[in-house]
Chain A
Amino acid sequence: MTSPDSATNPRSSSGAPGGDAPLLATRALSKTFGGLKAVDAVDLELRQGEILGVIGPNGAGKTTLFSLIAGSIAPTSGEVQLRGWKVSGRPAYKLVRAGVVRTHQIVRPFPNLTVAENVTVGAIHGAGRAPGPARERAAEVLAFVDLADRARDLPGTLTLAGRKRLELARALAIVPEVLLLDEVVAGVNPAEAMRLAGLIRRIRDERGVSIVMIEHVMPAVMSLSDRIVVLDHGKKIAEGAPAEVAADPLVIEAYFGKGAGGARA
């Protein structure tokens, strides 16, 4: 669906061909701000159709990791690979066109465009440049996130949960292969959180989109993720199935401090 066009084809860059390569991977990905190692030699892999959770205490480097993958900032060293082809160093809009799409922790709708227009901007790259198909695509995605009746409203009139669904719709309209979700469930009431979590599962199940999600709401990330990666001080300290990660002494220590892991063990 989103076969990258010739300008953004990862094959045009150097790198080894990847028949069995994971959909998305980072290789020793690092980012240093001054003396601070925000992301420190992180390796992760996302397989086709997987939901990968990324958790960690505040300041662990989760959002920086997303910005590196999405091309919003360039890595200090290491690389990001899409199907085995190096894509790091490319501007964000090219990664979007190659199928890697992010949402933001703090939602950023275009306030001067209607809900439908917001989604149509995304659909321009998901459904081709003609405005007709883009509008149809936008309408379909808006119905999927249950915002069809608000299409003509401005985003400012939506609740926070509504704006989060709008942000999901805008990302989906691009027809992503990989969706990077930054705290979609956080900050809304429990009923809305359930609804958003259900939506994320349907995005994977019904649309076949592979997902990397940063999430603080533990029930959501534990139930949705196939695998979880834990970051602390920029380093990957654990990786595995949700139950394994939750029982890992290193993870408990990162969240609750030294001694807490020993007390549980």
Chain B
Amino acid sequence: MRALLGARAAIAFAVVVAALALLPVVLDLSPYDRNLLTLAFLMIAGSLAWNWMGGYLGQVSFGHAAMFGIGGFVAARLMMEPSPMPPLLAWLLGGVAAGVFSLGAHPTLRLRGPYFSIATIGVGEASRLVFTWWEDFTGGASGLSLPIDIALKARLYWWALGLAALVVIASFLLRRSAFGLQLLAIKADVDAAADVGVNATFSQDVVMVLSGAVVGLTGALYASFFAFIEPSDMFGFDRSIAFVLMSVIGGVGTILGPALGAIVFVLLRQFLLASYPQLYLGLYGVLLILIILFEPLGLTGLGLRALRAWQRRRPHGGAPRTVAAP
């Protein structure tokens, strides 16, 4: 039953990815829609990678903008004169740089819960200040323009889709692996995890590097996508908040949740910025409070409730006794 469900989910996933890959070929997408989709793919990758820390490990980071910014600026510098690298190599190195940088937050891993979150705000804001000040590297407040040609910009749709698909698969494998189980044990009780042989410090370091590297890679693609980046956007505190929001809206700790949350976030942001720019952050605050109060699993939780209600109405639709995170 479980294997069958897994197989069906895998087929559905493959169909969705293939359909999205063919979409720009079949339909004549407007540049606006195409950009929106590309951005959504990037945010799916970033939010799922944030979720490895915040959802699987239970360490809610408010500082992931630091990794996003480092990935973006390192890749941008590597693609610029005097010796421009091929984009793929520059992006990967941006991700590696962000992964290495996130190891610098190692001391914060001794903290748990809100203490960890507060420390990550410090790391994020310190990074923003340092990189805004470091004009030789980031261009300071005026930012950097990247030499992105039209053809690369067009191909970024598929690169972003590919990255999102890989991160979905990685999230699934991580959740199913022995290592993923250890992360959930650390999330529940770090001392009890040590009592069953889990090396919590090492596991957290590994997740932090992986999460930071993927968010850095996302930032690198994002930089190329906009062809212009500035520290206040890349390292901004609302960028960090965005990673938290996407997972919380969709459902922390699940796979479908952060992906859904990213799509909703991108659409909502576009709509709100266009219609009510002054209300934009306030509405997110209200949404966040409502979700935490009434449905901690976000959209995924609402979906599960609907599914259970539907199963109860059917005479033989035996509801599962426990809820496995999808």
Contacts and interface: CB of A to CB of B under 8 A. Distances in A.
Interface of A: 70, 72, 91-93, 96-97, 101-102, 104, 108-114, 117, 120-122, 124-125, 129-131, 134, 152-154, 170-171, 173-174
Interface of B: 176-178, 181-182, 184-185, 187-189, 191-200, 321-322, 324
A130 B181 CA distance: 12
Contacts, number: 80
Identify the 8 closest CB pairs spanning chains A and B, nearest first: A125-B197, A96-B197, A110-B188, A108-B192, A92-B194, A122-B196, A121-B185, A124-B178
A92 B197 CA distance: 7
B187 A121 contact: no
Nearest to B200: A93
A88 B188 CA distance: 26
Given A72-B191, A114-B322, A121-B182, 17 more contacts: A93-B194, A93-B197, A93-B198, A96-B196, A96-B197, A101-B196, A102-B195, A104-B195, A108-B189, A108-B192, A110-B193, A117-B181, A120-B181, A125-B196, A131-B177, A152-B321, A173-B196
Contacts of B193: 110, 121
B187 A129 contact: no
A120 to B, nearest CB: 6
Nearest to A111: B188
Given A112-B184, A113-B185, A101 B178 contact: no
A112 B182 CA distance: 12
A169 to B, nearest CB: 11
Nearest to A91: B194
A91 B190 CA distance: 13
B188 A113 contact: yes
A73 B185 CA distance: 20
SS of B interface (majority): helix
Contact of A129 (B178, B188, B194, B322): B178
A124 B322 contact: no
B321 A124 contact: no
Contacts of A131: 176-178, 181
A96 B178 contact: no
A88 B193 CA distance: 19
B188 A96 contact: no
B189 A110 contact: yes
